[in-house]
Amino acid sequence: VVDVDGVQIGGRDVVMIAGPCAVENRSQILETAQAVKSCGGTILRGGAFKPRTSPYSFRGLEVAGLELLALAREETGLPVVTEAMDTMQVDAVSCYADMLQVGSRNMHNYALLEAVGEAGKPVLLKRGIGATIEEFLESAQCILDTGNPNVVLCERGMRTFETATRNTLDLAAVPMLKHHTRLPVVVDPSHGTGHWWMVPAMAKAAIAAGADGLLVEVHNCPEDALSDGTQSLRPEKFRTMMNDLRAVAEAVGRRCSTADTDHVVRPLMAVG
């Protein structure tokens, strides 16, 4: 079991890590965080450092994004996970985040694996798009070898010939990883499919397959999202999905970490 600031991943509760692809501005992250909290999400995700595939594409707010995540944590009480994309970002990310994410593109970046391991915080390690399960476990081992036992594995879809979905979500990785390791396993149905309307079905399937949690993209206004809008759930869809997941979790002897069903979304008066 990995403890992220009080949230247990790998126990009886299915953990819901949710939030936008990228932190874009104050109101976006605070509104989304409130929505995540009120729907029963247990950890807030959001990217401060983003992959930059062109000099004109959005690179994330960087340190300012980390500060907004910290503010969202303060407002909601949700622990925060965010990605470090280079060894030089690890210190800054560690200062603000409760859990460090190693993204799919960096699963084979051994210097980074070592640096996040040594940072001492829990690590969310995403499977590479072209990586086998065996290689995924080797990368996890690189982190464990630094003496940091708090690694959570995330299946997020493989690259295959199928183009109807953004990636091919390999749910068999869940039982296979659990066969080989005691590390918790979560699933990202947002990147795994690339279509918001497929997320609920695959989220249910992931829990049924034995996942310890989900990583889901939620955005307060997906049509305005700077990235991944087509695979982000709007808050009301996320709420509906959370309600549906509860029954599936119970059917497999788990519990969905969604205590706040009677939570009243408080008006975001502080938000400009």
On whether the CB atoms of residues 166 and 21 are closer than 8 A, the answer is no
* Chain residues 103-142 in contact with a second copy, contact rule CB under 8 A: 105-106, 108-112, 128-135, 138-139, 141-142
User: Any contact of residue 170 with a second copy (CB under 8 A)?
Assistant: yes
Q: Is 69 left (phi over 0), alpha (psi -120 to 50) or beta?
A: alpha
CA 41 vs CA 15, 100, 105, 133, 172: distances in Å: 8, 18, 26, 28, 25
Which range of residues in 15-23, 224-232, 243-251, 264-272 is near a second copy by CB under 8 A? Answer: 243-251
For residues 90, 95, 101 and 105, what is the CA-based torsion angle, rounded to 10 degrees?
Answer: -30
Which range of residues in 29-37, 203-211, 213-221, 228-236 is near a second copy by CB under 8 A? Answer: 203-211
Sign of CA dihedral 251, 255, 257, 259: positive
User: Any contact of residue 248 with a second copy (CB under 8 A)?
Assistant: yes
| Crossing angle of helices 63-76 and 26-39, rounded to 10° | 40
Alpha helices in 44-124 (DSSP H): 63-76, 90-96, 110-119
Please identify, using beta-carbon distances, which residue of 42 and 167 lies nearer to a second copy. Answer: 167
Cα(119)–Cα(167) distance, integer angstroms = 31
Q: Whose CA is closest to 238, among 190, 179, 194?
A: 190
Q: Considering the complex, what minimum distance in angstroms separates the CB of residue 116 from a second copy?
A: 13
Which range of residues in 34-42, 92-100, 207-215, 261-269 is near a second copy by CB under 8 A? Answer: 207-215
User: Any contact of residue 210 with a second copy (CB under 8 A)?
Assistant: yes
Please identify, using beta-carbon distances, which residue of 44 and 203 lies nearer to a second copy. Answer: 203
User: Any contact of residue 176 with a second copy (CB under 8 A)?
Assistant: yes
Please identify, using beta-carbon distances, which residue of 27 and 168 lies nearer to a second copy. Answer: 168
User: Any contact of residue 154 with a second copy (CB under 8 A)?
Assistant: no
* Chain residues 39-58 in contact with a second copy, contact rule CB under 8 A: 51-55
Choose which of 64, 247, 259, 270 interacts with a second copy (CB under 8 A): 247
User: Any contact of residue 85 with a second copy (CB under 8 A)?
Assistant: yes
Q: Whose CA is closest to 68, among 109, 24, 106, 34?
A: 24
Tokens of 154: 């995330």
| Tally of CB atoms within 10 A around 13 | 19
On whether the CB atoms of residues 111 and 84 are closer than 8 A, the answer is no
Choose which of 174, 183, 218, 242 interacts with a second copy (CB under 8 A): 174
User: Any contact of residue 150 with a second copy (CB under 8 A)?
Assistant: no
Q: Considering the complex, what minimum distance in angstroms separates the CB of residue 20 from a second copy?
A: 20
The binding site for a second copy (CB under 8 A) comprises 51-55, 85-89, 105-106, 108-112, 128-135, 138-139, 141-142, 145, 158-165, 168-172, 174-176, 179, 192-193, 197-198, 201-202, 204-210, 244, 247-248, 250-252
